[in-house]
Amino acid sequence: MMVIMLFEFVMSMADVWVAGRIGKEVQAAYGLVLQMYFVAIIVANALTVGSVSVISKLNAAGEDRRCRDAVHTVMLSAAAAGVSFGLAGVVAGPPIVRALAVPAEVKEYAAPLLAVYAAGFIFHYVHFSNQGTLRSSGRVRTALRIQTVVVLVKLPLTYLLAFHTPLGHLGLAVSTVAAISIGTALSSLAIRPLRTGGAYSPAVVREVASVGWPAGLMQLFWQLGFTTLFLVVGSLPENKVETLAAFSNGLRIESAVFLPAFACNMANAVIVGNQLGRGGRTGAFRGGLTTAVLGVAIVGVLTGVVISAAPLIASLLSPDAIVRHETVRYLYVAMIAEPIMAWGVILAGGLNGAGDTRAVMLSVTFAMWVIRLPLAWFLGIRLGLGAAAIYWVMNLSVAIQSALITWRYLGRKWIRAAFPCGS
């Protein structure tokens, strides 16, 4: 699972590198569009969180018929949502970009880029859903092989389209859509045996939605928060484009350090879900903590590597001196909180696997909208303390978020909720 996340990072960093070679404006536009893309696929993430919790429990309990119904229903729901959001993104995406308070030269590149990404939402939605189904049914290696194909298509195609065709920066999005469409076809074939004989079930939709909606709402608040943070950074009095490009670079590099945490988050959802499905309360609790300790240890090592190599990494991503300097500053500040954030995110995966997604949603939403955004604007813009103040506020919100999730996990209410009758 960690390798799958590594592949996601490689594709993202390839896009950052290509965008930087085209220009700092494209790099800033790519970061903005990627954040808006994350907002647009929130329903896909919510479906995946809900389906992983439901399918893993059904699979562990040996309820084959209900499991097939769940797999079939989730795939159809993902396809319907992907078509709907794709059409909405193609039509409304570019006007929304043009209305944002970001530099005009960034909007020029961002609007068409978002439209291309939106055209491929159907593939993103179905592929994410299928990969979640494969993970929850214990077919992680199959998911890995499929994602390997996606990467092998994506990387050379990005370089070819961006530098050797008239598409230019649009090649970033076209190559992604093409690679994900191939992954969608392969993952759909892989889950076919799991859904054969299954029927569409409104009851499954309700069950998945009951688990997934808090996760979806949490993702909405989180991703809208980051998009708003982009606007705050874009409101700085000087070097707006350069700081936006550096912020985008820093987030992508940070995502590399965070790969083990995200992998452990997904693994914890499956581990806890399977343990609870078998009635293992103690195993679920201890398994979640063990996964969190392992993830934090790995993230801590990677954090040290990035801090020591920050100037070199920044120089590889952009030829612009201001962008490189700001990228290094972001990394020096942000890396301090990485192990803390890893701990909270991995425990949140366990809570998601148990179906306690509401607690995660409330913790993340509070940290983002009550702590991070108001203080980032007040200190960074209102008091004129600049980008560094925004980065430190991000660290503060991470600490509060992780503390709230830890409190919930250690309280074990999620275990009692999984066995309401004391069974």
DSSP string covering 362-395: HHHHIIIIIIIHHHIIIIIIIS---HHHHHHHHH
d(CA 321, CA 338): 26
pLDDT value for 353: 78
d(CA 394, CA 374): 11
- In this prediction, residues 246-256 reach a mean pLDDT of 85
Q: Which residues contact 166 (CB under 8 A, 6 or more apart)?
A: none
d(CA 404, CA 188): 38
Residue range 281-337, pLDDT digits in tens = 777 888 888 989 999 999 999 999 999 999 999 998 888 899 999 999 999 999 999
Q: By percentage, how much of the chain surpasses pLDDT 90?
A: 42
Torsion sign, CA atoms 294, 300, 303, 309: negative
Query: Is residue 313 assigned to a domain?
Result: yes
Query: Is residue 406 assigned to a domain?
Result: yes
- In this prediction, residues 223-227 reach a mean pLDDT of 84
d(CA 102, CA 176): 25
Structural domain tally of the chain?
Answer: 1
Specify the DSSP class assigned to residue 44. H
**How many beta carbons lie within 10 A of that of residue 239, not counting itself?**
16
Does 284 or 402 have the greater pLDDT score? 402
Q: How far is CA 353 from CA 220, 279, 280, 393, 409, in A?
A: 19, 14, 13, 30, 12
- CA 264 vs. chain centroid, Å, equals 13
Query: Is residue 423 assigned to a domain?
Result: no
d(CA 218, CA 238): 32
Query: Is residue 69 assigned to a domain?
Result: yes
Report helix angle 42-61 to 259-277, nearest 10: 40
Q: Which residues contact 322 (CB under 8 A, 6 or more apart)?
A: 239, 242, 246
Is the predicted pLDDT of residue 403 greater than 50, yes or no?
Answer: yes
Q: How far is CA 248 from CA 153, 155, 252, in A?
A: 24, 19, 6
Pair of tokens at residue 145: 């092989």
Q: What are phi and psi of 21, to 5 degrees?
A: -75, -25
Domain membership of residue 97 as a residue range: 2-418
d(CA 173, CA 117): 6
Residue range 31-83, pLDDT digits in tens = 888 888 888 888 887 888 778 778 877 777 777 888 888 888 888 999 999 99
d(CA 378, CA 382): 5
d(CA 217, CA 74): 18
